[in-house]
């Protein structure tokens, strides 16, 4: 059971920083709260007394959304469901709707925020690998000022980030990749409300004929303490022809990266399968030429 004496809902960044400073050491910052109550239960944190909860989800900067040709600026309190409901956002971030549909369920997605998913820093967080594939940078703001750093460097391990005391994750800035095909592959014990054992985000851009890979971006989570980008595979894919041989070779490359605490053999199999399926799905959605993908490859992994 979560017990608090005071629940504050600041409506400006200034109010939030004041509340955080006034209650230093006796407060917790929350947004969607979907992990807050389940955390304060038997078997996890148990009964917890947190004198002050500071809910930052009503602050305008955390709810902003700007999209231009190059960049998407996402307020940290953007609910996950928005990636499914907002067509313009979905086009700019082709991975995110595919990720969102596997994320918890429709109801939790309406409440859970992308910023919360990142700050929680679960090794299985679904949103993080997608955003890493979109070259995301996080904007951290405190009363002292602002700093920006790559999302890949923000998460340092399970439930660990470089967020400092008094600092808030305000926004995520990432590449707008309209025209890319996106996919998100995830495996867990059931369909809804499931934590990923492994998840993979893939983005593919093809040439005009849909036969050559112009750009590819890949990120994977659940195989080690934090999500990984796959630069070597991306480099190999860039400029390669879209065919079964290319994808098979690419699929083998990250298998050796599996460094999870458990079930490494299983995860190696999954990584190989997800690479193929993720790339096939992303390529298909990027307008792959029908003959470029061997039919058996498409049938097996689409």
Partner 1 sequence: MPDLRLDATVNGRKISRAAKPHQRLLDFLRDDLNLTGNKEGCGAGECGTCSVFVDGVLMKSCLLPVAKAQGAVIESVEALASTGELSLLQKAFHKMGASQCGYCIPGMVMAATAALRANPFAGREEIKERLGGNICRCTGYQKIFDAVELARDVQNGRLPATALGEIDAEQGDFIGKNVRRIDTPSKVSGRLKYAGDMTMPGMLHVQVLRSPHAHARIVSIETSAAEAMDGVEGVITSADVPGEDGFGVFVNDQPIMARGKVRYVGEAVAAVAAADLLTAKRAAAAIKVNYEPLPAVFDADDAMRAGAPVLHDYAPDNITKHIPIRVGDVEKGFSESDLVVEESYSTQAIEHAYLEPEAGLAYVDHDDVVTIVSPSQNITHHRSMLARIIAKPISKVRFIMSPVGGGFGGKEDMIYQGMLALLAMKTRAPVRLVFTREESIISTAKRHPSRTTLRMGLMRDGRINALQMTMICDGGAYGLSTEGVMRKAAILGAGPYAIPNVRVDTYGIYTNNTPSGAFRSFGALQTQFATESHLDICAERLGLDPFEIRRINAMRDGAITHTKQTLGSVSLLRALEAAEKASGWEAGSPVSRGDKRRDLDRADIRPPVSLGARFAGVDKQEAAE
Binding site for partner 1 (CB under 8 A): 1-7, 9, 30, 33-34, 36-38, 41-43, 47, 53, 55, 57, 84, 97-98, 101-102, 104-108, 110-111, 179, 181, 191-193, 284-285, 287
CB closer to partner 1, 1 vs 245: 1
**How far is 251 from 247, CA to CA, in rounded Å?**
6
CA atoms within 13 A on the CB side of 148: 8
CB of 285 to partner 1, least distance (A): 5
CB of 177 to partner 1, least distance (A): 13
CB closer to partner 1, 187 vs 255: 187
**How far is 129 from 136, CA to CA, in rounded Å?**
10
Q: Which two tokens stand for residue 288?
A: 């792959």
CB of 85 to partner 1, least distance (A): 9
The H helix count followed by the E strand count for the chain is 13, 16
CB closer to partner 1, 91 vs 252: 91
Q: Tell the residue number behind the tokens 């992994």, with chain if given.
A: 301
CB closer to partner 1, 43 vs 145: 43
In sequence order, the 6+-apart residues with CB closer than 8 A to the CB of 210 are: 242, 286, 287, 288, 289, 292
Q: Are 182 and 93 in contact (CB under 8 A)?
A: yes
CB of 106 to partner 1, least distance (A): 6
CB of 47 to partner 1, least distance (A): 6
In sequence order, the 6+-apart residues with CB closer than 8 A to the CB of 165 are: 24
SS3 282: helix
CB closer to partner 1, 226 vs 284: 284
CB closer to partner 1, 58 vs 238: 58
Q: Give long-range contacts, CB 8 A cutoff, 24+ apart: 105-111.
A: 105/192, 105/193, 106/81, 108/34, 108/80, 108/193, 109/79, 109/80, 109/81, 109/84, 110/79, 110/80, 110/81, 111/32, 111/33, 111/34, 111/79
CB closer to partner 1, 65 vs 257: 65
CB of 194 to partner 1, least distance (A): 10
Q: Are 142 and 164 in contact (CB under 8 A)?
A: yes
CB closer to partner 1, 49 vs 164: 49
CB of 91 to partner 1, least distance (A): 9
CB of 108 to partner 1, least distance (A): 6
């Amino acid at each position: 059971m979560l017990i608090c004496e005071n629940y504050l809902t600041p409506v400006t960044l200034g109010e939030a920083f004041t509340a955080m400073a006034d209650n230093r050491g006796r407060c917790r910052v929350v947004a969607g709260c979907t992990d807050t109550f389940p955390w304060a239960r038997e078997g996890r944190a148990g009964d917890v007394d947190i004198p002050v909860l500071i809910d930052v989800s009503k602050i305008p900067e955390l709810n902003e959304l700007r999209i231009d040709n190059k960049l998407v600026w996402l307020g940290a309190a953007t609910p996950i469901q928005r990636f499914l409901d907002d067509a313009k956002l979905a086009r700019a971030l082709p991975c995110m709707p595919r990720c969102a549909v596997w994320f918890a369920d429709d109801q939790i997605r309406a409440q859970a925020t992308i910023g919360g998913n990142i700050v929680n820093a679960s090794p299985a967080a679904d949103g993080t690998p997608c955003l890493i594939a979109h070259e995301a940078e996080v904007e951290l703001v405190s009363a002292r000022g602002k700093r920006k750093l790559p999302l890949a460097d923000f998460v340092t391990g399970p439930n660990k980030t470089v967020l400092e005391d008094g600092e808030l994750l305000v926004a995520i800035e990432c590449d707008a990749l309209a025209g890319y095909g996106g996919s998100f592959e995830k495996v867990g014990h059931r369909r809804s409300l499931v934590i990923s054992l492994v998840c993979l985000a893939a983005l593919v851009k093809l040439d005009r004929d849909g036969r050559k890979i112009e750009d590819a971006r890949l990120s994977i989570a659940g195989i080690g303490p934090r999500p990984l980008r796959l630069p070597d595979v991306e480099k190999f894919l860039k400029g390669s022809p879209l065919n079964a041989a290319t994808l098979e070779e690419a699929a083998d490359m990250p298998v050796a990266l599996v460094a999870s605490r458990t079930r490494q053999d299983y995860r190696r199999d999954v990584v190989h399968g997800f690479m193929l399926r993720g790339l096939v799905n992303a390529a298909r959605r990027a307008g792959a030429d029908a003959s470029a993908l061997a039919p058996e490859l498409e049938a097996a992994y689409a």
